[in-house]
Amino acid sequence: MTLLDIFDFWHPHSVQHVLIGKEVDFRVSSDETNFVQKILEQNQIQYRILFHNLQDEIEKQLDGGKHFRKKYFYTRYNEWEKIAAWTKRMAKKHAKLISRIEIGKTYEDRPMYVLKVGKQSYQKKAIFMDCGIHAREWISPAFCQWFVKEAVTTYGIDKDMTLLLDNINFYVLPVFNVDGYVWTWTKDRMWRKNRSNNSNSDCIGTDLNRNFNASWDNYEEELRDPCELVYCGSSAESEPETKAVTTFIRAHLASIKGYITIHAYSQMLLFPYGYTEEKTPIHDKLNKLAKEAVGALRSLYQTEYIYGAIATTIYPCSGDSTDWAYNEGIKYSFSFELRDRGQYGFLLPESQIKPTCMETMLAIKVLAKYIVNNDQ
């Protein structure tokens, strides 16, 4: 074991992306706390402890309000079984606006459900939106559920949402990484990858957001190590979850004009490219649109987001879904990093689900309305 092996980097996800003068969030075991504090102090590095007992915070989310856990709530984090049942219930209850599509199976043979949300009509534009590609980012699936609920309950009431559902189909994948999400509820709350086996290694899982065919395996050395958080898989689209999504999107490329993927955390709105610092031909247009979207988001609770191209705004990466979608011809491809900026990180309290979702809805509406009015 090396010194770095005792760190679980949260933001950025890897020591390779740690920069002088930039804040770093990481987790260490209780056994290593004094040792790490001593190193930081010896090197005159300022630090603050966000969680004195991380397990206590995890148990609050897993066990808090146990009498509520059997029920489904939009303002609570829901287990996969409840989300799956919710997709069926929503499609039945709102049959004129929602249909449920099974686009494939996960590595552990769980169904991947997409909800098609929109007024039934032919030859409509579409936006594909996925949540929960990284298992531990629980606020992400919570947002996709909130989005669907808001879309159907405000249709015919809210002018913007009515316009959108009349003119666009939203394909919403509430949980991309179902197996990993289940694992975070049952075994390891901080799990990131999927749960596939890797040949020639005892380490489990692939980072699904490094498994897309967009400069796959071309940037980070750690992408090739099955034991790393960002292992990119044995080949591009090697994972059944990735393959299910890419197959579905390719089959609907004629209509899909926008791609949105929801992550956490760091409060950013990102767009291609991630695998190069070169600008896309429509960089200025994407930048202007992102600026407008974060402005709308800020208007509700004054939550500050930064925006820009992935490689120059957060860090370079290859094999991610946003670059892949853009390269497939979906010009308006965006990645959200939701709340917060590190106070809670992946353990965002349930009390912040509603405000996070409400402000993010405003940004999504800006992006979607632009696609309705401008893209052909």
Over residues 78-84, the mean pLDDT reads 96
* Residue of 302, 255, 8, 217 whose CA lies nearest to 123: 255
Total residue length of the chain: 376
pTM of the model: 0.89
Active site residue 337: yes
Give the pLDDT band of residue 57 (cuts 50, 70, 90): confident
CB atoms < 10 A from the CB of 94, how many? 18
Of 222, 228, 241, 337, which one is the catalytic site residue? Answer: 337
Can you give the pLDDT at residue 37?
Answer: 75
Domain segments of the chain as ranges: 77-189+207-375
Reading the block at residue 211, the tokens are: 């498994």
User: pLDDT by residue (tens digit) across 287-332?
Assistant: 999 999 999 999 999 999 999 999 999 888 899 999 999 999 999 9
CATH superfamily of 77-189+207-375: Zn peptidases (3.40.630.10)
Residue 339 has pLDDT above 60, yes or no: yes
- Give the C-alpha separation, 151 to 167, whole Å: 13
**Which H/E stretch holds residue 91?**
helix 80-93
Residue 227 tokens read as 């034991």
* In the predicted structure, residue 26 carries a pLDDT above the cut 70: no
DSSP state, 339? S
The pLDDT confidence band at residue 32, using thresholds 50, 70 and 90, is confident
d(CA 320, CA 211): 7
Looking at every residue in the chain, the average pLDDT score rounds to 90
What would the pLDDT profile of 135-150 be if each residue is shown by its tens digit?
999 999 999 999 999 9
pLDDT tens, position by position, 165-218: 999 999 999 999 999 999 999 999 999 999 999 988 999 999 999 999 999 877
Q: Token pair for residue 75?
A: 């303002």
Structure tokens at 51: 């969680």
Please tell me the predicted confidence (pLDDT) of residue 343: 84
Distance CA 320, CA 315 (A): 12
